[in-house]
């Protein structure tokens, strides 16, 4: 049974708009109304409360790697529909809608490039595509990227922004990606490779329970929601009020679950310095 295929047709190009459809964004943290152009210039960080909005995978790549050095891997892999899932709408139809809306084939981008002059393998998940949920393509791309890094003795950097967990439309095929990516990282570690995991808002469920928390060093952006199940679900289950800031980056740092919190504007410089100190593989 095939779990993913390859796209053979030309990519869909974004149509040009004469007038922007949206000029303002409301901050989900402080409710401040933000002018989109100014928000983009500030790396999509709220200038009032410093809330870090989710970024697209392409924006993450451009902000993280040295300009002009990125070489994408496995961009032609596309999800299929092994279960014929059709509730609330056909899975194949939902995937096509997301591909056309976001101009990407699935919820992650992988490849290689230079970070501060050091060659790295990079993986980025994107919460805009079906909440960054982990399906067969995301798991396969991440696994292949890690395996290439192991073979080439490159450090691995994965930036996670996945709020959707395992993709329910792929059932057990999705869940097995947790084990597959984790096993690839175990082999990378046994070969002496370095893995730096960066957690962004939101990083949840199956992604958190697999590769996102297996880093030799785990970094988070400020105030990112990081956890397996959302706080409201937990409160409803245990019928207790959770501590203030529960599952936010600062709470996890205080409780030893992550190693550093780094502002988005400082992330590339921080990764460059840390890789220089910690990298045990060639670069």
The CATH number given to whatever domain includes residue 168 is 3.90.226.10
Whether residues 119 and 145 share a domain: the answer is yes
Mean pLDDT for the chain overall: 87
Do the domain assignments include residue 196? Answer: yes
Burial of 204 (0-12, 13-18, 19+ CB in 10 A): buried
Tell me which H or E stretch contains 232. Answer: helix 231-238
- Residues found in the chain: 283
Do the domain assignments include residue 40? Answer: yes
User: Which range marks the domain in which residue 42 is found?
Assistant: 24-53
Q: Give residue 169's region: left, alpha or beta (phi > 0; psi -120 to 50).
A: alpha
Do the domain assignments include residue 9? Answer: no
Phi then psi for 265, rounded to 5 degrees? -65, -20
Whether residues 43 and 93 share a domain: the answer is no
Do the domain assignments include residue 73? Answer: yes
Whether residues 149 and 268 share a domain: the answer is yes
Do the domain assignments include residue 111? Answer: yes
Whether residues 169 and 256 share a domain: the answer is yes
Indicate whether 12 pLDDT > 70. no
> Which regions of 179-264 does DSSP assign to beta strands (E)?
195-199, 203-204, 217-220, 226-227, 260-261
CA distances from 80 to 85, 108, 113, 193 (A): 11, 16, 29, 32
Indicate whether 236 pLDDT > 90. no
Whether residues 120 and 245 share a domain: the answer is yes
| pLDDT computed for residue 281 by the predictor | 43
Whether residues 31 and 161 share a domain: the answer is no
Whether residues 149 and 98 share a domain: the answer is yes
CB neighbours of 247 closer than 8 A, spacing ≥ 6?
A: 225, 226, 227, 230, 231
| pLDDT computed for residue 283 by the predictor | 42
Domain count, the chain: 2
pLDDT classification of 277: cutoffs 50, 70, 90: confident
Whether residues 99 and 115 share a domain: the answer is yes
Indicate whether 275 pLDDT > 70. yes
Whether residues 165 and 42 share a domain: the answer is no
Q: Which two tokens stand for residue 197?
A: 């995991």
């Amino acid at each position: 049974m095939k779990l993913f295929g390859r796209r053979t047709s030309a990519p869909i190009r974004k149509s040009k708009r004469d007038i922007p459809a949206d000029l303002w964004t409301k901050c989900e943290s402080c409710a401040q109304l933000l002018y989109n152009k100014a928000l983009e210039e500030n790396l999509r960080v709220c200038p009032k409360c410093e809330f870090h909005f989710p970024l697209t995978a392409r924006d993450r790549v451009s902000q993280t790697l040295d300009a002009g050095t990125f070489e994408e891997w496995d961009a032609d892999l596309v999800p299929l529909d092994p279960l014929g899932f059709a509730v609330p709408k056909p899975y194949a139809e939902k995937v096509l809608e997301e591909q056309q809306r976001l101009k990407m084939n699935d919820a992650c981008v992988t490849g290689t490039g230079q970070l501060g002059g050091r060659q790295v393998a990079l993986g980025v998940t994107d919460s805009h595509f079906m909440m960054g949920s982990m399906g067969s393509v995301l798991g396969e791309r991440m696994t292949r990227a890690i395996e290439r890094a192991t073979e080439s003795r490159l450090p691995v950097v994965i930036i996670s922004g996945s709020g959707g967990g395992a993709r329910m439309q792929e059932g057990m095929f999705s869940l097995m990606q947790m084990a597959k990516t984790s096993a690839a990282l175990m082999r990378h570690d046994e070969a002496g490779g370095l893995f730096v995991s960066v957690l962004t808002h939101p990083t949840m469920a199956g992604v958190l329970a697999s590769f996102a928390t297996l880093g030799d060093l785990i970094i988070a952006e400020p105030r990112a929601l990081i956890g397996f199940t959302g706080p409201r679900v937990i409160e409803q289950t245990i019928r207790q009020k959770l501590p203030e800031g529960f599952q936010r980056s600062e709470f996890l740092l205080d409780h030893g679950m992550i190693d550093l919190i780094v502002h988005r504007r400082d992330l590339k410089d921080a990764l460059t310095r840390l890789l220089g100190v910690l990298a045990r593989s060639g670069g």
